Amino acid sequence: MVRNYRLQLKEEPEEPDKPEVQEEPQGAAKPDDPEEPAESEETKEPENPEEPVEESEKMEQPREQTHRNKMYHAGLVLEGGGMKGFYTAGVLDFFLEQGIFFSRIYGVSAGACHMTSYLSRQKGRGRDVIMDNVNIRSYCGPLPLFLTGDFFNVDYAYHLVPDLLNPFDYDTYAAYPGKAYAVVTNIVTGEPEYLEAKDLRKDMDKIQASASLPLISRTVRIGKGRYLDGGISDAIPLQQSIWDGDEKNIVVMTKEIGYVRKPESKAALAAIRARYARYPKMYEIMRDRHVTYNQTLDLIEECEEDGRAFVLRPQHKGEVGRIEKDEEKLMALYNEGYADAEKKFEAMMAYLADTEYEEIP
């Protein structure tokens, strides 16, 4: 039922038929006037002239790559934040252009989603998935929440999109020699878990669980566990990366400098208590979430000072909400992330200068 409904809403009005244009051989010059006689051999343009590039393609041309295809033995920590993750998408696309990768990556919620396109090496895909679908009613919003129990339609987001609409390169992702973890919250124990996502043909449910927001998503069963958004219990898993042995870490945050998390409202906590009455740990971790998050901010500051972390994050509070549909605002945040990564690239490479790395295909 959901699949048929979704596909019907996805259909867009057909564009008017365009007149057929006879395809010319590659590299052939196009005269300005169809009546103009063909050029003589003396005035003929050289073979294979540079073809015109569409404006959208110009934006995608990679910059000069000076550090290609190196996997540093360091951690990459990606905070979630819903649509605020567009900042992360911009950062990761710049990393892709430079061929910079990391041996361990921890993705939380939206960070886990953008991690997948980064490791499949599909520059721009993380951005395009949202831009192409965010304003389609069957993708996210009250309608799929009412029909399926999920604000983001699971079948649409984790099957139709990667398999058809914005094809995902499963093979390139699976071939990545490092480790990628989706951070999830076990709603029974109230503890974070770090699930390795190696082959997304089998592990897509781990990405789904990491991005399943409380109250507006169903819990996700994986094995014997029941899981929700990793940001509830470990929003920025820098400590886990350090425990796993990463002496240096690149941390990509989605909250601006100076941000301090406030306690959940009484109404939100009441809703959590009612919705997850069978899982009392959920109420406890949501009640204490601001304390845990702010302690993590203290750790990040400490690690910046002692050299265990290099941080990329927005400099100012932005206009993008957690569930944002304004495409101009989203693109502005994406561009901000890209620009920040570009601006801090040399400093980051200096930070990683004494870190072991290996060349990867």
Can you tell me whether residue 30 is helix, strand or coil?
A: coil
Can you tell me whether residue 114 is helix, strand or coil?
A: helix
Can you tell me whether residue 325 is helix, strand or coil?
A: coil
What distance in Å separates the CA atoms of residue 361 and residue 359, rounded to the nearest whole number?
7
Two tokens, residue 219: 């819990």
What distance in Å separates the CA atoms of residue 361 and residue 357, rounded to the nearest whole number?
13
pLDDT value of residue 140:
94
pLDDT by residue for the chain (361 residues), tens only, comes to 333 333 333 344 444 444 444 444 444 444 444 444 444 444 444 444 444 444 444 344 444 455 578 999 999 999 999 999 999 999 999 999 999 999 999 999 999 999 999 999 999 999 999 999 999 999 999 999 999 999 999 999 999 999 999 999 999 999 999 999 999 999 999 999 999 999 999 999 999 999 999 999 999 999 999 999 999 999 999 999 999 999 999 999 999 999 999 999 999 999 999 999 999 999 999 999 999 999 999 999 999 999 999 999 999 998 998 889 999 999 999 999 999 999 999 999 999 999 999 999 9
Two tokens, residue 355: 């870190």
Measured in degrees and rounded to the nearest 5, phi and psi for residue 280 equal -60, -25
What distance in Å separates the CA atoms of residue 297 and residue 294, rounded to the nearest whole number?
5
Two tokens, residue 293: 């998050």
What distance in Å separates the CA atoms of residue 133 and residue 145, rounded to the nearest whole number?
16
pLDDT value of residue 25:
40
> Which among 310, 181, 316 is positioned nearest to 254, based on CA atoms?
316
pTM: 0.82
What distance in Å separates the CA atoms of residue 38 and residue 92, rounded to the nearest whole number?
48
CA 344, chain centre distance (Å): 20
CA 119, chain centre distance (Å): 10
What distance in Å separates the CA atoms of residue 152 and residue 144, rounded to the nearest whole number?
7
